[in-house]
Each structure stands twice: as structure tokens, then as C-alpha cells.
Structure 1
Amino acid sequence: MGETKTKRVRAALRTRTGIAVGITALVVPAVLTVGAAAPARAASCTAGTGPYQKQVEKFLGLRADGRQSAADCRAIRNFQSTHSITPAAGYAGPVTWRAMEQLNRQKAAGRNPNAAGKCPVNKGRIACVDLTRQLTWIQDGKKLKYGPVPIRSGRDGYETRTGLKRIYLRSINHYSTLYHVRMPYSQFFDGGIAFHAVGIPMSRPPGSHGCVNMRTADAKKYWGLLKKGDDVFVYGRKPGT
């Protein structure tokens, strides 16, 4: 009886909650449809000065004069291409600056991501997810076991839900029949929301459909460190949601 129930749960997850999963983020962007050019070639380098010009220049180590130059544009375009920000036209706009701010916050976390004490330290082993900084880590009490590492959580309208959760299903080669995509190293902790690997940059906008996207190496490490029944604590709010 128990085995039959488990099979029904797994089947429901593969069909109804393929929910996943940041899956729209895996859909090929419009600029990459058949016959279209890649993002880096889709737009010519802009001569326009963006609203975040000075901040972007400072982040990239350029002369922070707040005025666009050919060198500025090339550097900004390189950053945009690396982080899958489209169009990669070298314009210092809000999406580009938001990605840079996120990287700054992640760097500042260093090896003490729970300095503010927001993730519980009385639960033993727990996976912490900070949506504001787009970071996750595993701790055991106050001891950091792994991370922090970058994530890609739910986009506007599909925000990853906050609160104390628990891993209830693990599926190493999970496949969403709803979105027709693989979700390697899936660990479900809130309905159809799971940790799982994706093959795209973590800073790629706009975000997932609720799941906590991870780089493959990090998702694999989480698979080895966590087990069914382990706690997951999600807090904060993703910028732009």
C-alpha cells in the first residue's frame, strides 16, 4: 500500500508539478529563435549613457566618469554576454546593475553567510536559502558545511515561497513532462519547488518558476550532503520581485 502511494506521488510530481522549476528560464529566448543572431550580435554597441553608468563603470574597474565611451560599451557588453543579459548592447541599465549588485552582495557574504543569524541554528543540518542575496548554504548548527553558493530563484509572479520547509522527495534524474526538461539532482521541499541543477548562469534574468536553480556541481554537492527529512529555511525577497 505504501509503495503504491509513493508511486502516485511521484507520478503527480512529474505531471502536475513539473511546476518547476525555473523552467521558463530554460526556454530559448526570442533573440535565439531560428534564423536569429546570438545575443552578443543581436544589437550594435550603444553610444547612449545609461542611468547606472557610473555605478557600472566602477564595478567593472573603468574610469567612473558617468559618460559612455567605446571602451565602456565593450566592457559592459562582455559582462552582459557572460551573464546572459539581453540585449547585450553595452547599455548600463537596471537589469545589468541589478546583476552587479547581486554579485557584490554575494561577495560580501564571504565565509559567514549567516552573520545576521536569520537562518535557524537550532535545527542541526539545514539548507539555508537567502532570496535577497540569491545565496544558499548548508550549516549544521552554527557550523558552515558547504557554501555559500549562488542560486536563481523564482521570478516576479512565481516567487519562491519563504518559511521553514523539509525535503520530502529526492529524484536524481528527475524529468518534467510538463516542460520537457531534465531537472538533475532534484530535492523537493515545498510542493513542486526543489533544489536542482540547470545549465545556465545563475544571474540570468528573470528567474525560475519557483525552484531554486543551482550550478550542477553545487546541486550534486547538495545531493550528497542532504537527505529526505532535512530542513530547508527560505527567507528574504529576490530583488525585482
Structure 2
Amino acid sequence: MGVIRRRGVVALGVTGLVAPLALAFTATPAQAASCTTRTGPYQKQVEKFLGRPVDGKQSATDCKAIQAFQRKHGITPDIGYAGPVTWGVMDLMNKQKAVGNKPNKDGKCPVNKGRIACVNLTLQLSWIQDGNRLVYGPVPVRTGRDGYETRTGLKKIYWRDIDHVSTLYNVPMPYSQFFDGGQAFHSVGLSMWNPPGSHGCVNMTTTTAKKYWSLLKNGDDVFVYGRKPGT
């Protein structure tokens, strides 16, 4: 985000140089993306997920429903096309829902550490357990994108800062609990299914981040495993 801001400064500088020409034109507000009439490769799957009639053919109402989903979760372009990114988000939601209240059914997160925060990158889920007992979760999370992957392995929370601001990206990171270098649990004002992902941190809703803040402390274990789709 810091890079975007720097680019914004440069763009403003260029605009200033051509201001006399720009004044001759009247700016118009950005137009909302229009719906596509194209049938996407995942049309039937997306229709079923959204509770639409499953005929595999794009319609105006199909498009509006898909577009609303895309806008809710920050999927671009938000033109109502049933493509791989949109279906990938929906498919992940289905897999997360199927986990129910047994996120550690496969036993991959250690049960011999006492209280521990687990992060399953493959399913983009996190939870807190104490031995075999589920303490909180599972909840959807948003982890590192390709090139900024959240690092796997057993770690410990070593620093907590409730009002942290990133010095690298100059963005707020409320309820930060750092467990590996600059990687931390913290809240964001984004959908947990917003692609492509974070810069390595485990993003959470404010509600989840607050709960993690109340349940965890310095020295508590964190175990990250799996591989995020697309990385």
C-alpha cells in the first residue's frame, strides 16, 4: 500500500504539469462496472452456490447476483463473470463450512502444547485449542499471497501491540500479535475472502482479532501448516 501511495504522489505531480489543459474538460464520476453477458467456465457451480437456477447460461439476474458477491468480497473485475477466481472463493467457502467444529480432525496441529493458535493455510482457517479441546473457532482468515507467503512451522507469540501501525506499508494493524518476524495476527477492514491475500500476516475480522487478543499472550504457541491455494 505504501507503493500505491508513492505512485499517487507521482501521478499528482504529473497532473499539476498539465493542469492548464485539464481545465478545459469536465471530470465525470467513475462508472460502475457493467454486467457481462458472457457465460463463464464455472457458471453452473456459481449458480448453484448462489441459489440460482442451474442452467449453465448467463442471464441478467445471474450476472447481478455474481456481481454483488464479487463486490462484497473485493473480487475484480466485478462484472459478474463466473471465472476461476470467483469460483475459487466460493469453493473455499464450501470447504471451510464442511469442517464444522472439528478443524483439527486430521490431527496436524499439535495437541501436546497446551493452548495453541492453529492456522491451516490450505483451508484459510484458524482456531485456538488447548490439547484436544477447541477453545475458539474455527474462523476464516486471510493469509499471505504468492510471493509473501505466511511461513509455516511452530512459532511463539513474542510481541503484542494493540494499536500497531506498519512501518513498511504505513497501514494500521490493530490487535497485532507477532509470531514470526514481521508476521502477525491482526484485524483488517476487508473481506476474509478478498484475493489475492496479505503480505504475510494472518488477517482477521475485528471480532476475531479481539477474541485472539483476549485468549492469547506472549509465549503462547502458534502452528502454521498447509499451503494457501494459488501460492
Normalising by structure 2, what TM-score? 0.87
Cα shift at 1:42: 3.5
**Equivalent residue in structure 2 for 1:53, among 23, 40, 43:** 43
Match of 1:66 among 49, 56, 60: 56
User: Residues 165-216 of structure 1: CA distance to partner in whole angstroms, max 9, x if unpaired?
Assistant: 1111111111112211111110000111000010111111110010000001
Query: Residue 88 of structure 2 corresponds to which residue in structure 1?
Result: 98
Corresponding residue SS for 2:65:
helix
Identity %: 70
8 Å contact from structure 1 (residues 42, 88) kept in 2 = no
Match of 2:111 in 1: 121
Give the counterpart letter for 1:129 in structure 2: V
For residue 11 of structure 1, what is the aligned residue in structure 2? none
Aligned to 1:236: 226
The residue aligned with 1:131 is 121
**Equivalences for residues 216-235 of structure 1 within 5 A:** 216-235=206-225
For 1:100, what is the secondary structure of its paired residue? helix
Tell me, in whole angstroms, the C-alpha distance in 1 between the residues paired with 2:169 and 2:225: 27
Output one character per residue of 1:18-64: Cα deviation in whole Å (capped at 9) or x when no partner.
xxxxx67x98xx9xx997967xx532100001111111111111111
Contact residue 165 and residue 233 of structure 1 kept, 8 A = yes
Secondary structure of the equivalent of 1:42? coil
Q: Which runs of 5+ in 1 are unaligned?
A: 1-22
Q: CA RMSD in A?
A: 2.2
The one of 204, 211, 217 equivalent to 1:214 is 204
Kept in 2, the 8 Å contact 1:42–1:87? The answer is: no
Once the two structures are superposed, what CA deviation does each residue of 1:100-123 show, in whole Å capped at 9, x if it has no partner? Answer: 011111111111111111111111
1:172 aligned residue (151, 154, 162)? 162
Question: What is the letter of the counterpart of residue 209 of structure 1?
Answer: H
Letter paired with 1:136: S
Runs ≥4 residues deviating over 3 A? 33-38
C-alpha distance in 2, partners of 1:131/1:205? 14
CA distance in 2, matches of 1:37, 1:141: 55
SS of the equivalent of 2:70 reads helix
**TM-score normalised by the chain length of structure 1:** 0.83
Highest RCO, 1 vs 2 (Cα 8 Å, sep ≥ 6): 1
Residue 18 of structure 1 is matched in structure 2 by none
Residue pairs, 1:22-61, within 5 angstroms: 42-61=32-51
For the Cα contact (< 8 Å) 1:173–1:186, is it kept in 2?
Answer: yes
